[in-house]
Structure 1
Amino acid sequence: MTRTMMAAVVTAPGRVQIEQVALPLPAAGQVRIRIEGCGVCASNLTPWAGPEWMKYPLEPGGLGHEGWGVVDALGSGVTGLRIGDRVAALSYASYAQYDLCDAEACVPLPESLTNQPFPGEPLGCAMNIFERADVAAGQTVAIIGIGFLGALLTRLASDAGARVIAISRRASSLDLARRYGAAETIVMDDHQAIIDRVGALTGGRFCERVIEAVGKQWPLDLAGELTAERGKLIVAGYHQDGPRQVNMWLWNWRGIDVINAHERDPKVYAAGIRAAVAAVADGRLDPTPLYSHVYPLDRLDEALDATRDRPEGFVKALVVP
């Protein structure tokens, strides 16, 4: 049996190399997964850019937290999983051939999803965000930022009977939003023009739900402007590049409920992944067209650069060992 594996190691800002490292052994309550693939998350971009507080090199496989694959070893005390089970995993070093995961953070994948990529963490995030958003039929929902997450939320909200207004920079993103059920699309280029357009579309009432899925100051400002009185502003974007300022006067005046839809509880993450498995297996959600770019492990640097630069047609990158 092999005792080593290949793993990507970020050695410095913007630099990665493939190293042969020891094969990890599962501790009690853990499983080892032979990784089939891992999604690339925009949250990787700050460590990739090299903030002052980061220390390099990162751990082998580090930053990869959207992995899926096949269980190939069990730690003591693990029940409910068997060697050979295909799972989506909430683990944190999946830019490698193998990774370890707590058994309770592994979600089995049914046979109907055989050979399909399944980056469980972002799919689970979409389901959890949608639940927190409390979208209902007849509402108008603005979604700011149509990438992987925004497209999934567009589909979920549209299928729930809401009227979705999709707002994004690129024409290809707006085309994607229409394919995923958006009733209206608006180019995200002029702050006041967007407010005026949404006001016209809603008779001046604005939107009962606004989901901000960009993670930048301007989209957050815009989200507050588009939220109706007593509406809900859902922060789904990952704000990791510094403090934010908000228009508290506007939020107070309109009585806006602000929801930070990010989760940190592994059990909640796993529940979201299970909901995503059910939705994809039932055909209610099809993320396959969103996996726009696939890279081998030794081109992880290209995958990260593409996630940062977002070339035309880019939605989501996957890395496969």
Structure 2
Amino acid sequence: MLAALLYGKEDLRLEQVADPTPAAGEVVIRVKAATTCGTDLKVWRRGGHAKMLKPPTPFGHEAAGEIVALGAGVKDWHLGDREAFQIGTRVVANNSAPCMTCFFCQKHEYSLCQNLLFNNGTFAEYLKIPAAIVQHNLLPIPADLPYNLASMTEPLACVLHGAARSHVKPGDRVVILGDGAIGLMFVAALSSGKGDWTSTPHPALPHPFTEVFLFGGNDSRLQIGEKLGAAKTFNYKQVEDVPALVKDLTDGWGADVVIEATGVPSVWEMAIACARPGATVNLFGGCPRDTTITVNTDQLHYSELTLKGVFHNTPEYVRAALRLLASQAVPFELLLSGEQPLSNLAQVFEEMRDRKVIKVAILPD
């Protein structure tokens, strides 16, 4: 089969590799759509990822498709809230699964799992799904949900996890820094007020009267942010002092919640500067390895700021993300800049680097 492999910084190659075969507990899916992601872009530009992969490696981590092969035992598993998988079942696979037994899993802190298993290689004709993901994070897709939208389950699950950890309350004014796919998903999640994301009520669920201010550097993306529910959008290139503007927007206080969605250390510092006393600052965008930021200790202490790093997702939010996508109550299709064949993958990443596209659905040739 044809598959994309990452060899280093901006070194992405399409190669013929052996078709995967499933071992016990595994399945193989035929990829119907694999969406590109800002994380993929950062990995492509940096040549690796501290947690998920080291080159040379199969590349891509968002995909939906149909099952074409089942490993031994899969039909006999009890899958909890899911029906047994069969050949032809339309599915979406999260790119990870927790072990469910380590110190953190026992505390239900699944994104911190010591043995978190990652699976890459969605930019290919076929994708093998490891047994742990089959058990915990492989979900059937509703018949009326297109593969392109279903493929966005993983990043949306990360966003819902991050939004819940931000503890947004009724009437809060939220600043989001970054107009990439993740920042725009945060806008949609926090502005929509579409109700319960998870199977149980959660005090951090958003409310339709949450006021979201989006800052980014691309006018067309900011327009999408408005369509997704942002109360106001601002091109930071035209703003002399972002924290000062945020204070003007919030009666001189600063934002109740700030979400950083760029992965740039200087923007982490800007996020802290935008916060009011008592605010929560969600430092969501992953920065390059070994980078640091400076924090004013007086502000942190006397303003009682909560600075929070949030990483990845959990099985609860994977299910919640698929439900939200399946409801089609939020126009997440606005984030898709079209479809491209696998053979055009390198060009797509160049266009992402140049901010010409947001997310692209890659279809095997």
Whether TM-score is above 0.5 comes out as: yes
Deviations 1:1-53 (A, max 9, x none): xxxx2212334543433322211111222211110121222223354336599
Does 1:172 pair with 2:220?
A: yes
Corresponding residue of 2:327:
282
Structure 1: which 5+ residue stretches go unaligned?
A: none
Change (3 A) 1:218 1:57: closer
Contact preservation (8 Å) 1:13, 1:49: yes
1:149 maps to 182
Q: 2:28 aligns with which of 26, 32, 53?
A: 32
Q: 1:50 to 1:31 in 2, by over 3 A?
A: same
Q: Deviations over 1:118-142 (max 9, x none)?
A: 2221121122111112222200000
Kept in 2: contact 1:68–1:87 (CA 8 A) = yes
Counterpart Cα distance in 2 of 1:233 and 1:182: 18
| Matching of residues 1-321 of structure 1 within 5 Å | 5-11=1-7, 13-49=9-45, 51=47, 58-59=56-57, 62-78=58-74, 79=77, 80-90=84-94, 91-101=119-129, 102-103=133-134, 104-119=136-151, 120-159=153-192, 160=207, 161-189=209-237, 193-249=241-297, 250-263=299-312, 268=314, 270-311=315-356, 314-321=357-364
What RMSD, in angstroms, separates the aligned Cα atoms of the two structures?
2.3
Counterpart of 1:128 in 2: which secondary structure? helix
How many percent of aligned residue pairs carry the same amino acid?
27
TM-score by length of 2: 0.78
One-letter code aligned to 1:112:
D
Q: How many residues align?
A: 309
- Structure 2: unaligned runs, 5 residues or longer: 78-83, 95-118, 193-206
C-alpha distance in structure 2 between counterparts of 1:200 and 1:47, whole Å: 37
Partner SS state of residue 233, structure 2: strand
2: CA distance between counterparts of 1:74 and 1:173?
41
Structure 1 136/56 Cα, relative in aligned 2: closer, same or farther at 3 Å? closer
Tell me how far 1:93 sits from its aligned partner: 1.0
8 Å CA contact 1:186, 1:194 repeated in 2: no
Matched residues in 1 for 2:144 and 2:48: separation?
A: 45
Structure 1 counterpart of 2:362, which letter? V
Change (3 A) 1:22 1:154: same
What CA distance in whole angstroms lies between the structure 2 residues aligned with 1:163 and 1:12? 41
Structure 1 distance, partners of 2:265, 2:311, is: 17
| Secondary structure of 1:317 counterpart | strand
Structure 1 pair 25–13 and aligned structure 2 pair: CA distance change class (3 A): same
